[in-house]
Amino acid sequence: MAMMPDSANGSRVRGESALTERPQPHNLEAERSVLSAMLRDPDINVDVVIEHLGENPEMFYSHIHREIFEAILTLKRERTIACDLVGVAHQLQLKGSLEKIGGDAYLAELYSYVATSVNLESWCTLLRDNFALRKMIGVCTEALIKCYDADCAPNQVVDQIEKSVFDVRNSTERSQMVHIKQSLFDEFRNIQAIINKEINPGILTGYHKLDELTGGLKPGEMFVLAARPSIGKTAMALNIIRNITLCKERYRVLFFSLEMSAGQITRRLICTEANVPESTFTQNFNNSDMTKLTGAVTVLKEANLFIDPTPALSIGALQARARRMKMLENIDLVVIDYLQLMKAGARAESRQTEVAEISSGIKQLAKDLNIPVLVLAQLNRDVEKGANPNALPKLSHLRESGAIEQDADVVTFLHRDRDSSKDLTPEKAAMGVDAKLIVEKNRNGQTGIVNLKFYPRRMLFGVEGHYTADDRPADLD
């Protein structure tokens, strides 16, 4: 057997120190087998390997095997010479690497290393698994160095480390291609289940007219709820959170509150659930109100709601915390209140550029975690400057960036006359104030208007006159 010209050990991962002298995880037999299969039947096996390993030479531990793999990839891309034994030798000769890898003798040895490629996918899995372990060694080593040499806040170091770990996971997972025949059967079964009310297309908000238009909050989608200040964005979001965390599915929600504290959010949930306005705490409070509050606490303690009240959160930090909660708690929904209070990771050229980066990061988070992200946003003042005071918001009214409109799968506007809820008598407050939830953009469904009633004393949005049993999951009645 021809000898490899120097050590098979791969290049050290950046940041590795003398913490360990042990060889990193690898399997040279599997590497040789993969290259042998590619050389013996390049028309089929090169594509199979690229599908499993991508075009990443670092999947191979041996720097010699990386050189050979890179030569094969070059021939595959250029398509001028066949990816066979002769073509690979020629490509290596052009790069001046042929002798470094052991010459024609080592290539010939690789060619005859396996007789069949029937186990090629298994060999690729071994390479991918060992690559993931090597990457994690590098991440952990760099984590130690960052902790010793940290020139930034500890939470930033933790965020950077968590992102690196998540990147390792993403870099070693391959996409699963499916034949349309299999996809057709799977989707048809899903459609049947939706029609038969066995499953929902997304997480139902509890507002059935909204769910009829959008299909609920769907995995991988960015759902925007926008309004002018003091219209009730947070109240509407909390109404939705209450519904979905206490329905029979008991969905798990991570709520980023950049404007209010965890205590303020919790108090508002208690008051809305108990139908006891906060104003009664200092006036006209009675024993029946305490009974209602106690009952609300009993109900809400069953909610799987996690609140992060960190102000001025950056998109990178938010992504890191959401990824962590997905791993630890398997959250089903992320809610952000609200987008314009967030920051981009680095100094942007303009606020529009910064908001575009934040919006893109939110959409990427939804796709990466395959869960919906409900993000609240502000509208600009133009919506109030028109001659018609009853004019409805438009997509152009989204504040600071058109990127939100571009990235979002669903854009809704919450609209009502703020003045109409001022100085209401208790009788009129009990009847509610007219409001509208406008589905202005819906990439995968219908647009339309949901007529609502806003009850300011309870900070509650109901549907057309009152909050009926049809407008929230049945098991909550």
Residue 352 belongs to domain with CATH number: 3.40.50.300
Domain count, the chain: 2
> Same domain for 207 and 340?
yes
> Same domain for 120 and 239?
no
Q: Where are the alpha helices (H) located in 275-350, listed in sequence order?
A: 287-300, 315-329
In a domain, 15, yes or no: no
> Same domain for 146 and 54?
yes
Report the alpha-carbon distance of residue 161 to residue 142 in Å, rounded. Answer: 9
Per annotation, catalytic residue among 58, 142, 249, 259? 259
In a domain, 184, yes or no: no
Q: What is the pTM of this model?
A: 0.63
Closest CA to 477 of 247, 165, 189: 247
Q: What is the edge-to-edge ordering of all strands in the sheet holding 253-257?
A: 305-308, 253-257, 333-337, 373-378, 222-227, 410-416, 433-442, 448-455, 460-463
Report the alpha-carbon distance of residue 238 to residue 244 in Å, rounded. Answer: 10
In a domain, 11, yes or no: no
In a domain, 228, yes or no: yes
In a domain, 328, yes or no: yes
> Same domain for 360 and 240?
yes
Closest CA to 113 of 199, 53, 200, 37: 37
Which pLDDT does position 83 carry in this prediction?
82
From 172, 207, 234, give the residue that closes a domain. 172
User: What CATH number did the domain enclosing 118 receive?
Assistant: 1.10.860.10
In a domain, 13, yes or no: no
Please, what are the averages of pLDDT over each run of 10 residues along the chain (477 residues)? Answer: 48 47 86 92 85 85 92 84 88 90 91 89 90 87 79 71 73 62 78 82 88 90 88 90 90 91 89 81 77 88 89 81 86 90 72 83 89 89 61 72 81 80 64 84 88 83 56 39
Query: Domain residues for 310?
Result: 193-476
> Same domain for 168 and 240?
no
In a domain, 10, yes or no: no
> Same domain for 304 and 449?
yes
In a domain, 87, yes or no: yes
> Same domain for 49 and 98?
yes
> Same domain for 441 and 343?
yes
Which pLDDT does position 477 carry in this prediction?
35
> Same domain for 251 and 144?
no
| 3-state secondary structure (DSSP) of residue 452 | strand
Q: Is 67 a catalytic residue?
A: no
> Same domain for 165 and 228?
no
> Same domain for 324 and 277?
yes
Which pLDDT does position 473 carry in this prediction?
39
> Same domain for 105 and 205?
no
Report the alpha-carbon distance of residue 158 to residue 288 in Å, rounded. Answer: 47
Place of tokens 């029979």: 248
Side chain identity, residue 279? S
The secondary structure of 252-265 as a DSSP string is -EEEEESSS-HHHH
Report the alpha-carbon distance of residue 311 to residue 296 in Å, rounded. Answer: 28
